[in-house]
Structure 1
Amino acid sequence: MPAKATHDSGIGIGGAGPRPGKLPRLDSLTGLRFPAALLVFLFHASLGVPWIRLFESDAANDGFAKYVSQAGALGVTFFFVLSGFVLTWSAREKDTFRAFWRRRFVKIYPNYVITWALALLTFAAVMTKPWQAVVNLLMVQVWVPDFATNFSVDPPSWSLGAEAIFYLSFPLLYLLIKKIDPAKLKFWIAGTIAAVVLTPTLTYAVIPGGGMQMPGADGTSTVQYWFAYVLPPVRLLDFALGILVARAVMAGRWRNIGMTWSALLLAVSYAVAMNVEHLYGQRAVTLVPIVLLIAAVASRDAESRPTPFNNRFMIWLGEISFAFYLLHYIVLAYSRDLLGDRLFSTPVGIALIAAQAVVAVLLSWALYAWVEAPLTRRFSTSRKAKAARAAAAATAATPASATADPAKLAEKV
């Protein structure tokens, strides 16, 4: 989930946009990441489990849970599609597989390990088996068809297990999708959307529905949920769709309906998602509006037009949103423990949830500023690559007649 994207590949954008050969930063999509992460926060804050619940009123708790019942799934699906879109937008023409994987690892894993340890220290150790903690640390918890394992330690971290597969797959997927004739991208996009929409149908038809059931999910078993919502190869469709749509936008093959209509369609689809079978509501119903919104926001950035999301404050929130995503459940669970067993009135409960969000934002800022940003700057590029870049810059700045040693020039840069 990169915060920014620039591009110098020579692939222009159709219609009014930046000069050929250079794609702009996607600041609005950076800013939009925080509302998506906040949706996941609200979903987790609504859980009625003892280590999260705050409202003493069953009506308040049930109403809150009802209205944000699909918010977490919407936020995660948004991030999966966004990852494919932004990685494609920011792809480097002369990049190597190893260099790409290094940047992703440095960006993701330090935050992941720190929040893994914090979750175990604050609340998760008593409900996590040692082997579950290990598979979670290795980011392979999503391959086990067991609900408790999928959401062990820090529950939101399951999606990083899927993202790890996306990142491993991206260099090859990108090369393959680049070979698609731009005129045929619409067929690939339609086919990928169809595959996602049909996934719940296939799941309900093929995967057994007995055993442990998802709460409030109309008979959906946890194994069905794992197959249709958690399993990385299935969710790879969301990521691939983001790559395809980015290619279509960059090639001028995308029909943009605009941010307003995309947002309205997303709101309508969310209302529908709350009233269909569980697995359809989790991704199939909201997928197309999510894609439309991402493409519309990127198109606004390409035209250098303002949006509600590309101001300095929203960009800052977007930059810390990855840390917020990993930290928020820890804040919810640990603060609930500090408050004791007492439940609260609805106004007080709302105030406490708002306070939890603020605390999560502040801690995320610290994690971003002290860990994520400095480690990314320091280690995302190898020493060899840095030396080569410095030597190239020094050579370019030196007159052709100069005979200085490139190694010495690199040391000075």
Structure 2
Amino acid sequence: MSTASLTRTESPAPPVQDVTAPRTSRLPTLTGLRFPAALLVFLFHAVLPFASIRIFADTGVERGIYKALSGVAGLTMPFWFMLSGFILIWSARPGDTARAFWRRRYAKIVPPYIVAWVLALVLVEGVDGSHTTPAQGFLSLFMIQSWVPDIATNFAVNNVSWSLSTEAFFYLSFPALYLVLRRIQGHHLKYWIGGVIAAVAVTPLVTYALIPVGTGVVPNEPGQSANYFWFSYVFPPGRLLDFALGMLVGRAVVLGRWRNIGMIWSGVLLAVSYVATLYVPWMFGLRITCIIPAALLIAAGAIADNEGRFTIFRNRAMVWLGEISFAFYLVHFTVLEYARRLLGDRLFDTPAALAVLAGELAAAVLLAWALYAWVERPLTRKWSRSRKARAAAEAVLPRQRTSA
């Protein structure tokens, strides 16, 4: 089947009860939720036991914070990947084409990605790229590093950019996935959602059964196989399950076939699940523990916005922080490493280290704001539509004013 149109389908017309309900075009609560997730990642990375980042002289305090935050990866990545799928379903409109969709997505992510990549290369790697091979740099620049079963390659140049490599695959796959999703009758969505959750749950078991242990280990998790980590956590086809789950949940909400438990209870379940992540086997904590409550929270936030109800995440400050959260995510690791270089080899007592950490956070927010305001927002507006599409839209405006 062609993917020229995201909405083309050869399936029979859906039953009356599956007619899409009216929905708001903006979801400020989900925008506001992005920054707390990004902040958790920042804090987790800030206490990684790496010489290129460490600032705490008291290793007991550092290890205690790290232990408390060690489940962050199992919470934030499923959340972000599901949120991407959910938002794309929520915003899908009749008549959209695959080409137009890809143009919008890549206009939004590629320019800030490249700027952040260059910053990391210059400020952290050095002008000679001494810590990165040319091959690793090439793979990272073109967003294909997550396909290689090698941690050094996955995290080359800008440590966090592997997830954008994975998301790029999601965006490539979205038009085809959307065609499949449109064929699913509303009353069958719950089975598909359950099936995808089950597939995520068995991912660690498949990893243990099929992937060789290898000799490499995860740097911040001694004893954990690097091969296991790559296949279960980084490899794009495996993480496509998270993205597809977000799409399915989004479709269920759009069709009014989602049982909403509200943001408060979703948040409580997510907190409980996070604590459980700290005690279950590592691979299961990375992949499955938080995925259901994260899906519940995303759906609850969208429903609250659609119904115009108050949430603590839709105020102006949280929405602004959410808008710059993509840029913040891209630059924060570079800020942590560059700050360590500026500070030299000195470690700090706990109050001073917390002050340094606050300064690093402020610097990352300011840099993210600049990247968002000067690169992401203007270039998204400029390049998200073709010249022909922009001319057509501009031609319509005078006629609309005249008819008004």
Structure 1-normalised TM-score?
Answer: 0.90
Gaps of 5+ in 2: 1-13
Equivalent residue number for residue 29 of structure 2: 28
CA contact (8 A) 1:84 1:239 kept: yes
TM-superposed deviation, 1:274:
1.0
Matches within 5 A, 1:69-148: 69-124=70-125, 125-148=129-152
Q: State how far apart, in whole Å, the 1-side matches of 2:21 and 2:401 are.
A: 25
One-letter code aligned to 1:55: F
Task: In structure 1, list runs of 5 or more residues that go unmatched.
Answer: 1-10, 400-413
Q: What is the deviation of 1:395?
A: 4.4
- Cα distance per residue 1:228-273 (max 9 Å; x no partner): 0000000000000000000001111000111111111111111111
Does residue 314 in structure 1 map to residue 314 in structure 2?
no
Letter in 1 for 2:107: V
Q: Does 1:350 align with 2:359?
A: no
Q: Which of 263, 275, 278 in structure 2 is aligned with 1:259?
A: 263
> SS at the partner of 2:218?
coil
Q: Distance in 2 between matches of 1:247 and 1:146?
A: 35
Paired position in structure 2 for 1:408? none
The residue correspondences of 1:331-346 to structure 2 (distance < 5 A) are 331-346=335-350
Q: Please say if 1:389 is aligned against 2:393.
A: yes
Would you say the 8 A contact 1:217–1:278 is kept in 2? Answer: no
- Residue 370 of structure 2 corresponds to which residue in structure 1? 366
CA distance in 2, matches of 1:36, 1:342: 30
SS in 2 for 1:343: coil
Identity percentage over the alignment?
A: 55
When the two structures are aligned, how many residues end up with a matched partner? Answer: 383
In structure 2, C-alpha distance between the alignment counterparts of 1:68 and 1:44, rounded to whole Å? 9
Query: 173-182 or 317-326: which moved more?
Result: 173-182
Q: 1-side partners of 2:21 and 2:265: how far apart? A: 28
Question: 2:164 is matched with which residue?
Answer: 160
Q: Secondary structure at the match of 1:220?
A: strand
Q: 1:174 to 1:347 in 2, by over 3 A?
A: same
Structure 2 CA distance for partners of 1:29 and 1:386, relative to 1, 3 Å: same
Asked if the contact 1:228/1:279 (under 8 Å) is kept, the reply is: yes
Cα displacement (A) at 1:277: 1.4
- The alpha carbon displacement at 1:390 in A equals 2.7
State the partner residue of 2:4: none
Is the counterpart of residue 200 in structure 1 residue 204 in structure 2? Answer: yes
The two structures, once aligned, show a CA RMSD in angstroms of 1.7
Query: Counterpart of 1:227?
Result: 231
* Aligned position for 1:173: 177
1:376 paired residue number:
380
Letter in 2 for 1:286: C
Per the alignment, residue 293 of structure 1 pairs with 297
Contact 1:37 1:325 in 2 (8 A): yes
CA distance in 2, matches of 1:86, 1:341: 44
From 269, 294, 297, give the equivalent of 2:273.
269
* Structure 1 residues 216 and 131, CA gap change in structure 2 (3 angstroms): closer
Q: Match of 1:305, as an amino acid?
A: R
Tell which has more relative contact order, 1 or 2 (C-alpha 8 A, sep 6+).
2
The 1-side partners of 2:48 and 2:83 are apart by 26
Partner of 2:282: 278
Partner SS for 1:285: coil
Q: Which amino acid aligns with 2:193?
A: I
Deviation at 1:135, TM superposition (A): 0.6
Equivalent position amino acid for 2:319 in 1: I
TM-score, length of structure 2 as denominator length: 0.92
Distance of 2:134 and 2:21 partners within structure 1 = 54
Work out the CA distance in 2 between the residues paired with 1:56 and 1:307. Answer: 39
CA distance in 1, matches of 2:141, 2:222: 32
